[in-house]
Amino acid sequence: MSPEITPQIEPVPIGEFAEPDFVRLPEPVALFRARADRLRALSATHTLAPYLVFLAELAAIQERIAASLPSPKPLSPEELEAAVADTRAPLDRLLFVPDEFALAVSDKLLAALADVAIPEAAVQAVGRLKAADAATRQAALQHTLRTLPVAEVLAEHALLSAALQVVFAAAAATLPPQRLQPVADGVCPVCGSPPLASLLAGWQGARGTRYCACGLCGTFWNYVRIKCTLCGSTKGIAYHGIEGDAGTIKAESCESCRRYVKILYQQKDPALEPMADDIGSLGLDLLMREAGFARGAVNPFLLGY
């Protein structure tokens, strides 16, 4: 089966507002609740059902932790303005030093997993992480932000990523959105991560506007349509979908870098959620691999697939 290539010219609706907001910062509790709901809904008919149910439980734990922890200390105005002046992501994941807050979140997440049916690989990872002292856990959190894991530690990487998502979403939520600006193509303007997916927004006030979604901090940032969300090229952008499906998730491929990132048509289906639907649409990744494109998005919950 070859991917269906749809025409590159897509109708661009006039937005509800001529100037959409550059960023939509996360509301952590709502972010993880929507993700848990969507994962649960997808699991009802999916071949990966047990895994999706586990991830739904994990997202529900993230939601509870986000709701129970006090807000982290915001960046000082000086730190924020220094990042703005240097066109840097103010919460750059590569510069992040795991603090007491990050350790507390990871402690809570590991403890909460005791009440959940979890895959065998994750059981062992939880045991190893719980046994680690604070310095080792801090180093592991930092490593998770900076590198892709080797096969033996995929489960650790996924669990620590889940904790870091809570930490970064909480920190992102404290930023003043009007002070954020584009940093570079393919980079979250808050934490510097590559985009997990892009979407045509389904929310009030920006419907049909294209945003990239960050898988770490949960920020959405405005991005021109029909342009590679990774390298910024506008040449040879094509859209690939699975014939006969709802047509609400496609792969946007780029001839320049030979990679693709999924695009979600959330204005057609408001339930679409970047993290959950990236995992739910794994079939599209298999098609794109056959078509010779490399996956550009990094999803810590999909690295074993």
Size of the site for Zn ion (CB under 5 A): 15
Does 217 bind Zn ion (CB under 5 A)? Our answer is yes
Q: Which stretch binds Zn ion (CB under 5 A): 22-30, 216-224, 243-251, 276-284?
A: 216-224
The residue written with tokens 């709701």 in the block is 67
Q: Which stretch binds Zn ion (CB under 5 A): 29-37, 76-84, 102-110, 207-215?
A: 207-215
Partnered with residue 222 across adjacent β-strands are: 211
**Residues between 248 and 287 with contacts to Zn ion, criterion CB under 5 A:** 254, 256-257
Rank residues 58 and 188 by Cβ distance to Zn ion and give the closer one: 188
Task: Name the helix (H) or strand (E) containing 287.
Answer: helix 282-290
Q: Which has the closest alpha carbon to 193: 304, 294, 300?
A: 300
Annotate each residue in 157-196 with x if it binds Zn ion (CB under 5 A) or - if it does not, as one string. -------------------------------x-xx-x---
Q: Which stretch binds Zn ion (CB under 5 A): 54-62, 211-219, 266-274, 285-293?
A: 211-219
Annotate each residue in 223-242 with x if it binds Zn ion (CB under 5 A) or - if it does not, as one string. -----x-xx-x---------
DSSP label at residue 242: -
Phi–psi pair at 111, nearest 5 degrees = -65, -40
Rank residues 43 and 144 by Cβ distance to Zn ion and give the closer one: 144
How many Cα neighbours within 13 Å face the side chain of 300? 25
Q: What residues contact residue 193 under an 8 Å CB cut-off, 6+ apart?
A: 93, 187, 214, 215, 216, 217, 298
Does 212 bind Zn ion (CB under 5 A)? Our answer is no
Contact 277, 250 (CB under 8 A): no
Q: Which stretch binds Zn ion (CB under 5 A): 109-117, 141-149, 153-161, 210-218?
A: 210-218
Minimal distance in Å, beta carbon 260 to Zn ion?
9
Q: Which has the closest alpha carbon to 246: 225, 212, 271?
A: 271
Label the pairing between strands 259-264 and 294-295.
parallel
Minimal distance in Å, beta carbon 43 to Zn ion?
26
Minimal distance in Å, beta carbon 190 to Zn ion?
4
Alpha-carbon distance of 214 to 185, in angstroms, equals: 13
Q: Can you give the binding site for Zn ion, defined by CB under 5 A?
A: 188, 190-191, 193, 214, 216-217, 219, 228, 230-231, 233, 254, 256-257
